């Protein structure tokens, strides 16, 4: 049995008669000694749990069978909290809702940590890459995007972070940004901010020395921001403070040809 407060690797619990793979769920609100193994099946949910003083034998969506040897109300509350979290997790998985997913940001133009194609840089057409998002959490009011390069001017001796794109008030339903999107072609409600060339919209990679990393950071916010004009990165970050529900990151790299 784990000691309270001590972090240990979660392990699955053997459920007699069940051969399907089990998923371990650790509920943050429950003390570290609570470990719950869940088996998702078409006929409901079966689970066992180990907590001091009580034994959970089996549960379905409709019924809970719980043995509490003592009269300790705290243990009863802990048990109910754990079971509620399990039912919520199962509901999210069964309904396929995005509340059970993580916010993600991808591009069909390059993989995470892959090289950004020349077309999207100052050596090419200098247009924005296509981007796609998924998994915005429940309660998301809008999305914001910041693209920056922390390796300027030289990745071996970085001195500043150069901002390439600032975008805000994307609706959570707008899951894609088209390639080469212009300010007037942005999804309804979305607004461009100001990059470090003092221009609105996108400015592509143009590293002076070496291979730089370009961080595409997507934020899910719990509100639609007021009109900020053409905010800088720092102004947008100030407006977002305290409203970020989730964040996703896509990193691309680029080095000028001939360097």
Taking only the tens of pLDDT, the chain with its 259 residues reads 433 443 333 333 333 333 333 333 333 333 333 333 333 333 333 333 333 333 333 333 333 333 334 445 555 555 555 555 554 444 444 433 444 579 999 999 999 999 999 999 999 999 999 999 999 999 999 999 999 999 999 999 999 999 999 999 999 888 999 999 999 999 999 999 999 999 999 999 999 999 999 999 999 999 999 999 999 999 999 999 999 999 999 999 999 986 4
Q: Using CA atoms, how far apart are residues 116 and 112, in angstroms rounded to an integer?
A: 10
pLDDT the model gives residue 83: 56
As a whole number of Å, the CA-based R_g of the chain is 24
Query: Which CATH entry fits the domain spanning 101-254: 3.30.365.10, 3.40.630.10, 1.20.120.420, 3.90.280.10?
Result: 3.90.280.10
Sign of CA dihedral 52, 40, 24, 134: negative
Give Cα 180 distance to the centre of its chain.
25
pLDDT the model gives residue 102: 94
How many C-beta atoms lie closer than 10 Å to residue 231's C-beta? 20
pLDDT the model gives residue 258: 63
pLDDT the model gives residue 99: 46
Encoded tokens for 56: 């959970």
Residue whose C-alpha is closest to residue 27's, from 79, 103, 97: 79
């Amino acid at each position: 049995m784990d000691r309270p407060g001590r972090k240990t690797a979660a392990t699955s619990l053997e459920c007699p008669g069940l051969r399907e793979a089990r998923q371990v769920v650790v509920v943050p609100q429950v003390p570290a000694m609570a470990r719950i193994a869940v088996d998702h099946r078409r006929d409901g949910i079966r689970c066992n749990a180990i907590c001091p003083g009580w034994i959970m034998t089996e549960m379905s969506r409709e019924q809970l069978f719980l043995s509490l040897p003592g009269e300790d109300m705290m243990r009863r509350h802990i048990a109910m909290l754990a079971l509620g979290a399990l039912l919520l997790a199962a509901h999210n998985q069964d309904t396929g809702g995005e509340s059970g997913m993580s916010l993600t940001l991808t591009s069909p133009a390059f993989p995470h940590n892959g090289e950004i194609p020349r077309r999207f840089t100052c050596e090419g057409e200098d247009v924005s890459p296509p981007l796609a998002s998924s998994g915005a959490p429940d309660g998301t009011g809008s999305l914001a995007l910041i693209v920056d390069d922390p390796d300027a001017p030289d990745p071996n001796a970085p001195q500043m972070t150069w901002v390439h794109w600032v975008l805000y008030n994307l609706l959570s339903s707008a899951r894609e940004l088209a390639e080469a999107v212009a300010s007037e072609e942005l999804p309804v409600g979305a607004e461009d901010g100001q990059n470090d060339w003092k221009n609105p919209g996108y400015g592509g990679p143009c590293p002076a020395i070496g291979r730089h990393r370009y961080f595409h950071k997507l934020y899910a916010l719990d509100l639609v921001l007021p009109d900020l004009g053409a905010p800088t990165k720092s102004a947008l970050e100030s407006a977002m403070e305290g409203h970020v529900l989730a964040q996703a990151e896509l990193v691309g790299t680029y080095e000028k040809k001939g360097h």
